[in-house]
Amino acid sequence: MKHEMLGGKIHAARVTQVNLDYEGSCAVDLDLLDAAGILPYERVHVYNVTTGARLDTYAIPARRGSGTIGLNGAAARLATKGDKVIIVSFVLADDDELASHRPVVVVVDDKNRVSKTQRHTLRRKS
């Protein structure tokens, strides 16, 4: 059986730009993508902590070290500059992969720089 598990998470990032006149997607500083193990053009979910809005899109790489978190196209209607968001990716894991699966959570500071990285281990009831 396959399980859909958290792969990577960027927690408490601030939206730095919105651009309605762009074809779509979520621009993310390459340093943050790398830290969270999210690949450019990978499907991501964006949860707007400020408004409660949720959206499904894909990550596009923004300039490394820029701190950019940008929502583009239709997604730009679901956030404003300064909103706090969570960006997550999910992976599929077989039963035998669960014991070694370790999702990564990247917590960022007010400038969208990595302040803490945590790797989690699945703990199953005995």
> What are the residue numbers of the active site?
25, 58
User: Contact 118/104 with Cβ under 8 angstroms?
Assistant: yes
Cα separation, 72 vs 51, in Å, equals 17
Cα separation, 110 vs 89, in Å, equals 22
Cα separation, 40 vs 33, in Å, equals 7
Cα separation, 39 vs 33, in Å, equals 6
